[in-house]
Amino acid sequence: MRTGGTTAILLAGRRDGATDPLAQAAGVTHKCLVPVAGQPMLLHVVEALVANRRIGQVRVVIEDPALLAGLPPLRGLLHSGRVVGVAAQLNLVDSVLAGADGAAFPLLITTADNVMLTPEAVDEMLDGCMAQGGGRRRRLHPPRVGAGRPPPGAA
């Protein structure tokens, strides 16, 4: 299967290196490893990305990229280079920049807890970006209801 030229950056690291409460409750080291429907959240997102014909390489940004090889469904994708582990940095911006270093553009940036992502949603987002000139940013998720408005009762 021929893959596209968009590189996906998949943010899977821990905030401030701390264990997420959801991960802690599930007995795993990272929130992206919390099982949803029988598999780690990370795998749901990777599957959606690699199933999309427009996504080329998926770069998973995580503190210890070797952790990815411990997930059997990723081994073939890692071996082929379709999925690549990138070491997370101390902050979000530097982690995104590390993921983008040497990547083919355009970029799609998402998070490993985005388990409802589908190949069709990726197409919709990429189409929306192209319709707006390709160089603009768009949300991968619709904004929260009431986003940008002050909460009720706020002055």
Under DSSP, the state recorded for 117 is: -
Average pLDDT over residues 73-82: 97
Q: What is the mean pLDDT of residues 53-70?
A: 96
What is the C-alpha to C-alpha distance for residues 18 and 30, in angstroms, rounded to an integer?
9
pTM over 0.75: yes
The dihedral sign for the CA sequence 94, 22, 144, 134: positive
Please give the helix or strand (H or E) that residue 98 lies within, else none.
helix 92-100
Q: How far apart are CA 113 and CA 25, in angstroms?
A: 15
Name 153's bridge partners. Answer: none
**Residues 34-62: b if buried by 16+ CB within 10 A, e if exposed:** beeeeebbbbbbbbbbbebebbbbbbbbb
Q: What per-residue confidence (pLDDT) applies to 37?
A: 96
List Cα–Cα distances, 145 to 36, 121, 129, 151, 153, in angstroms: 25, 19, 22, 11, 16
The pLDDT of residue 63 is above 70? yes
Percent of the chain with pLDDT over 90: 72
Per-residue pLDDT reduced to its tens digit, 81-110: 999 999 999 999 999 999 999 998 899 999
**What is the rounded average pLDDT of the residues 1-30?**
86
